Amino acid sequence: MAKCKKAPKKFDSINVIPFIDIMLVLLVMVLTTATFIKQGVIPVNLPEAKATEKKDTKKEVTIYVNAKGETFFEKEKVDLVTLEQKLSTISKEQTVILRSDKASKFQDFVSVMDILKKLGHEQLYIVTKE
């Protein structure tokens, strides 16, 4: 009699338990690291400097454009040239909030955005209603 070769055994299912174990370990590592970073638990020894200067800077600057097309910098009415001068004096990392009236001309909005882009301000929020 001739020997018959058996057909290779088919896998009916895949064992996913090792995969789940690895994913749970990775999840625990990520959550633990994220918790330490958020709470500032990771100790950091900061360098010292003798010539330090504390700057009292605002966290944000607000620009308003009303329905008449008037531009305000921190509640002070300004023209576009003055706005550019005032924005050039603040830090590029400082947040700029733009509140534009929905009835204002789109050109007024674009003019303010053009000044912000020219000066390199990237921390920009445009306030809208929900």
Cα separation, 15 vs 78, in Å, equals 69
CB 88 within 8 A of CB 114: no
CATH fold of 60-126, please? Nucleotidyltransferase; domain 5 (3.30.420)
pLDDT > 60? residue 39: no
pLDDT > 50? residue 24: yes
With a threshold of 0.85, does the pTM exceed it?
no
Instruction: Write down the residue that tokens 């809208």 correspond to.
Output: 128
* pLDDT tens profile 49-69: 666 555 555 578 888 888 888
* pLDDT tens profile 85-121: 988 888 888 888 888 887 788 888 888 889 888 888 8
Q: Domain extents for the chain?
A: 60-126
CB 93 within 8 A of CB 61: no
- Lowest-pLDDT range of 12-16, 23-27, 40-44, 121-125: 40-44
